[in-house]
Amino acid sequence: MNLPSLLRRPSRTQLLALTAAFVFAASSSFSIAQTTTATKAPVAATHTAAPWWKHALIYEIYPRSFQDSNGDGMGDLNGITQRLDYLQSLGIDAIWIAPMYPSPQVDFGYDISDYENVDPQYGTLADMERLIAQGKKHNVRVILDMVLNHTSDKHQWFIDSASSRTNPKHDWYVWNDGLPADGPNVTAFQKRFEHEGRVPPNNWVSLFGGSAWEWVPAVHQFYYHEFYKQQPDLNWRNPAVEKAAFDAMRFWLDRGVAGFRLDAIPTLFEDPQLRNEPETGGTNAQGDPNVSDIYTNNLPEVHDVIRRMRAMADSYPGNRVLIGETYLPNIAALDKWYGGAKHNELQLPMDMQVGFTNKLDPALFRQRINDAETKISGNQPLFVFDNHDNVRSWDRYGDGHTQQEKQSIARIVATMLLTTRATALTYYGAEIGMVTSTPTRVEDVKDPIGITGWPKEKGRDGERTPMQWDDSLNAGFSTAATTWLPVPDNYKTLNVKAESADPDSLLNWHKKLIAMRRNNPTMLDGQTIMLDESNNAVLSYVRKGVAGHPAVLVALNFTATPQTITLDPKSAGITGKSVGTILTDAPSLKQASSLTLTLPPFASWIGTIN
């Protein structure tokens, strides 16, 4: 699945034809000039004053799929703890764990039934406390996923709310009497959801299909659900909801989590008048009319909540961070989520404009990276190319290319993620080039939207398959006879162990980039300035030197043909003459020492200029 598509962005099918099986080309021709390893060397002293998240690499873990410690075929918290050495050796600063709270698992944890505990299938509260403590020893902070837009319908709050109109919790969710089914202006879509002579109050469509309103006979009302009907939306206009949600956050902040990734945070509020959304034409995978989201997404009221939430997070020591799942239409909308020049909302709303261009187009990346550098009021960008809702970047950018080209393109993606000034967010498996492995038969699909949307929408299982650690049973993920999702066939050669042993692997490319970024003040803080701005084949930029350290140049060939470029860092005010290569996957560029370079197809080159 492609979540941006759910959020009314281009559909997954528009983005790519789904993945073919991939065999890792272990003996590639890639050569990496730099050989440093990604140990956790301390960041240069002048930069330690910045909050940790400013220079961080954050790694998203889908807990069902990372490491199974008890042989039940599903990942768990103790499994994550077992893999802390790996995470540390990779050089990551924090893990974001997708929801591990008690949940009926309709949406695999994004339907929380208790905010203050751990689902037994993932372990216990004590396991989480141990993970936080062990993480600290490994310099790996723990960030939790906080789902505030909705709860599970099995949360006691909702059970109470749905029990009667007079229950004190009734107003904790968004209820409405609906309209008479034979009333004026009722659409055919609304009529499909008629109950006891009433239809939903408007044409709002759930992002997961069908009406966004569900009838509850006991109260004779509909409740609103942006996602599955088992995920009723909380009513954020009720101050008691905010208090309960903040209390849940405090529960975890008190236990030492480093912050939260805020799920679906722009959709906390809905239009109080419940106006019909304008129809945008056509139908979605489930056959419902496509509608806009102007009355259900990114309403201005949400910012008051976020400012209060930020003040709460700031009341804790240690720079607790608030990260937003913010699919937004443009950079100006993103800036608002920081609080603009006031810097008083989220520290890191995700910039989805850069990582999800889904097109190898230098001009697009140039513009969007530049926007992030110049149009967010001095706030800190957060780039992300992969997560548990989208086809993996390996496929989104590599589709239609040869295996060797895909390898190179994955290096380009990693280079863009790790060589700008942005905080970086990656997703388990991206570092080894895990491939989207979408089920080929509907009976194998686990993600409910893949079942209701089949075959147009095949769900998100493909990007959630078990982590591939080695070539043993189930790729070292689990000792169970079967795992919750199958381990992709390519695990025998595509795994952490094999790539660790191969100096030219994608994993080692990541490690070198991460080490370079960690140890070089220019990489940490140097301004990013675009070069050669009319070039439609090569993306190049310079990071301005910091604290006496030389500037860094980056050049990426986005095409299948060699490209000769002459970089002109003077245009960015950089006057040095002596050029040296720091890192490249092109053997011919290892010794490059001139501003004129011939980049082989899809080559990445990083150099310095003094």
Question: Per rule CB under 6 A, is residue 264 in the interface with ligand NOJ?
Answer: yes
Question: Per rule CB under 6 A, is residue 384 in the interface with ligand NOJ?
Answer: no
Question: Per rule CB under 6 A, is residue 447 in the interface with ligand NOJ?
Answer: no
Q: Report in angstroms how near the CB of residue 110 gets to ligand NOJ at its nearest.
A: 3
3-state secondary structure of 279: strand
3-state secondary structure of 332: helix
Q: Is the Cβ of residue 64 or residue 368 nearer to ligand NOJ in the bound state?
A: 64
Dig out the tokens for 244 from the structure: 């309960």
Q: Report in angstroms how near the CB of residue 386 gets to ligand NOJ at its nearest.
A: 12
Q: Report in angstroms how near the CB of residue 97 gets to ligand NOJ at its nearest.
A: 13
Q: Is the Cβ of residue 1 or residue 530 nearer to ligand NOJ in the bound state?
A: 1
Q: Which residues of 468-489 are buried (b: 16+ CB within 10 A; e: fewer)?
A: bbbeeebbbbbeeeebbbebbe
Query: Kind and range of the H or E element at 88?
Result: helix 84-90
Dig out the tokens for 553 from the structure: 């140049």
Q: Is the Cβ of residue 434 or residue 531 nearer to ligand NOJ in the bound state?
A: 434
Question: Per rule CB under 6 A, is residue 263 in the interface with ligand NOJ?
Answer: yes
Burial of 347 (0-12, 13-18, 19+ CB in 10 A): buried
Question: Per rule CB under 6 A, is residue 147 in the interface with ligand NOJ?
Answer: yes
Q: Report in angstroms how near the CB of residue 576 gets to ligand NOJ at its nearest.
A: 44
Q: Is the Cβ of residue 24 or residue 228 nearer to ligand NOJ in the bound state?
A: 228
Q: Report in angstroms how near the CB of residue 387 gets to ligand NOJ at its nearest.
A: 7
Compute the half-sphere exposure of residue 414: CA atoms within 13 Å on the CB side of its CA.
34
Q: Is the Cβ of residue 119 or residue 263 nearer to ligand NOJ in the bound state?
A: 263
Q: Report in angstroms how near the CB of residue 230 gets to ligand NOJ at its nearest.
A: 11
Compute the half-sphere exposure of residue 249: CA atoms within 13 Å on the CB side of its CA.
29
> Of 68, 93, 263, 457, which one is the catalytic site residue?
263
Could you give the string, one character per residue 189-228, with x where binding to ligand NOJ holds by CB under 6 A and - elsewhere? Answer: --------------------------------------x-
In SS3 terms, 194-228 reads as CECCEECCCCCECCCCCECEEEECCCCEEEECCCC
Near ligand NOJ in 275-334, by CB under 6 A:
325
Q: Report in angstroms how near the CB of residue 468 gets to ligand NOJ at its nearest.
A: 21
Question: Per rule CB under 6 A, is residue 386 in the interface with ligand NOJ?
Answer: no
Helices (H), 124-262: 125-137, 156-161, 188-191, 239-253
Angle between helices 403-418 and 506-519 (to 10 degrees): 20
Size of site (CB under 6 A) for ligand NOJ: 10
Q: How crowded is residue 184: how many other Cβ atoms within 10 Å of its Cβ?
A: 6
> What counts of helices (H) and strands (E) characterise the chain?
18, 22
Name which position in 24, 66, 96, 110 contacts ligand NOJ (CB under 6 A): 110
> Of 270, 325, 395, 532, which one is the catalytic site residue?
325
Bridge partners, 609 (sequence order): 551, 579
Q: Report in angstroms how near the CB of residue 476 gets to ligand NOJ at its nearest.
A: 25
Question: Per rule CB under 6 A, is residue 25 in the interface with ligand NOJ?
Answer: no
Contact, 185 vs 241, CB < 8 A? Answer: no
Could you give the string, one character per residue 57-96, with x where binding to ligand NOJ holds by CB under 6 A and - elsewhere? Answer: ----------------------------------------
Phi-psi domain of 549 (left: phi exceeds 0; alpha: psi -120 through 50; beta: other): beta
Question: Per rule CB under 6 A, is residue 346 in the interface with ligand NOJ?
Answer: no
Q: Report in angstroms how near the CB of residue 281 gets to ligand NOJ at its nearest.
A: 25
- Torsions phi, psi for 553 (to 5 deg): -110, 145
Dig out the tokens for 531 from the structure: 């070069």
| Residue 486: cis peptide before it, omega within 30 degrees of 0 | no
Q: Report in angstroms how near the CB of residue 208 gets to ligand NOJ at its nearest.
A: 8
548: which residues sit within 8 A by CB, 6+ positions away?
none
Name which position in 107, 127, 395, 463 contacts ligand NOJ (CB under 6 A): 107
Q: Is the Cβ of residue 64 or residue 411 nearer to ligand NOJ in the bound state?
A: 64
CA distance 610 to 592: 14
206: which residues sit within 8 A by CB, 6+ positions away?
212, 225, 226, 227, 228, 229
Dig out the tokens for 6 from the structure: 């759910």
Contact, 258 vs 142, CB < 8 A? Answer: yes
Q: Report in angstroms how near the CB of residue 495 gets to ligand NOJ at its nearest.
A: 26
Compute the half-sphere exposure of residue 258: CA atoms within 13 Å on the CB side of its CA.
22
CA distance 2 to 458: 10
What one-letter code names the amino acid at 427?
Answer: Y
Q: Is the Cβ of residue 267 or residue 478 nearer to ligand NOJ in the bound state?
A: 267
CA distance 397 to 411: 11
Decide if 263 is catalytic.
Answer: yes
Alpha carbon separation from 275 to 271, 278, 318, 480 (Å, rounded):
7, 9, 43, 51
Question: Per rule CB under 6 A, is residue 389 in the interface with ligand NOJ?
Answer: yes
Q: Is the Cβ of residue 153 or residue 389 nearer to ligand NOJ in the bound state?
A: 389
CA 365 to chain centre: 18
- Give, in degrees to the nearest 5, the angle at Cα 431 between 428 and 436: 65
Q: Is the Cβ of residue 88 or residue 387 nearer to ligand NOJ in the bound state?
A: 387
Q: Is the Cβ of residue 248 or residue 609 nearer to ligand NOJ in the bound state?
A: 248
Q: Is the Cβ of residue 53 or residue 110 nearer to ligand NOJ in the bound state?
A: 110
Query: Which residues does the annotation mark as catalytic?
Result: 263, 325
Residues that bind ligand NOJ (CB under 6 A): 3, 107, 110, 147, 227, 263-264, 325, 388-389
